[in-house]
Amino acid sequence: MKLKTRHKILYTILLIVALFMAVCFSLYLIMGKLKKNEDLVAHSYQVVRDGTLMTSLMVDQETGMRGFLATGNEKFLEPYTRGKAELALLIDELKKSINDNPSQMELLKTIEIKAGEWDSQAASRYISIRRSIIHFDALNNQLISRIQNGIGKDKMDAIRELIDSYGTNSTARRIMGNMIDMETGLRGFLLSRQDDFLAPYETGREKLSANLNKLHNPALEAHILDWIENYAELQIRDAKEASRYSDRDVLNEKIS
């Protein structure tokens, strides 16, 4: 009788243990699912935060671009440059964290493409145009400054004085004629920005070399070379560069 009672107690204990183990196992499964759900929720929140950050970085880029377009000051491009770099890093990180989610990967790919299109078709293009305007203004300021400062006139006056010292010497007179042709061609080109007007300049320069060899005056040659290299050629170079843009307003219209 006592043995049967012990067996019953043992069976009862085993049953309780089995039930306890079953409950523990069920709790383990439930906790695993809860943990998985918690991870998914946390991951979703992270994706949302990253999406908000992407928007912020795009706004930074636009802010920097607009600041530079308005002022022409390179320091205003800092938010644009930083935002562009950080956005690229963020997209790379997101690709790793959502590579198991095809729909999110497709959305991220679309965002990356659209951001790239905005940069190449708008931001980078407008920034390049604004820099061109700055360069255009600088070149024209240099051209005007050389004329207003009388650099070319002073150099030409020194040349005339040396040539006049030869009196009616025919070679000296031809050299003066060559210089007048060059000066006329240069002025015509600076006013018109058309290469055809440089013809007298180029013709005069071709004839000048032979006439200088005949006269053989090192001081005169040095003055003429100085006028050519440090005034005429600089003006021609800067005018040609500036002529890449027919009108400053045309450039401004592109970014307005």
SS3 of 184-198: the string is HHHHHHHHHCCHHHH
Please, which residues have CB within 8 angstroms of residue 77's CB and are 6 or more apart in sequence? 64, 65, 67, 68, 127
To 5 degrees, how large is the angle CA 70–CA 75–CA 81?
A: 95
Residues comprising the chain, all counted: 256
Rounded to two decimals, the pTM is 0.58
pLDDT of residue 248: 55
**Rounded distance, CA 251 to CA 174, Å?**
45
Instruction: Give the pLDDT score at 31.
Output: 45
pLDDT at residue 239 in the model: 87
Is residue 151 within 8 A of residue 142, CB to CB? The reply is no
| Contact residues for 124 (Cβ-Cβ < 8 A; gap 6+) | none
Question: What pLDDT sits at residue 39?
Answer: 45
Q: Tens of pLDDT along the chain (256 residues)?
A: 444 555 555 555 555 545 545 544 544 444 444 344 444 444 455 555 767 888 888 889 989 988 888 888 999 999 999 999 998 998 898 888 878 778 878 888 888 888 888 888 888 988 888 888 888 888 888 888 888 888 888 999 999 999 999 998 999 999 999 999 999 999 999 888 889 999 999 999 999 999 999 998 999 999 999 999 999 999 999 888 877 765 455 556 655 5
200 within 8 A of 188, measured Cβ to Cβ: yes
CA pair distance 123, 79, nearest whole angstrom? 13
Instruction: Give Cα 180 to chain centroid, integer Å.
Output: 43
Chain centroid, CA 183 distance in Å = 38
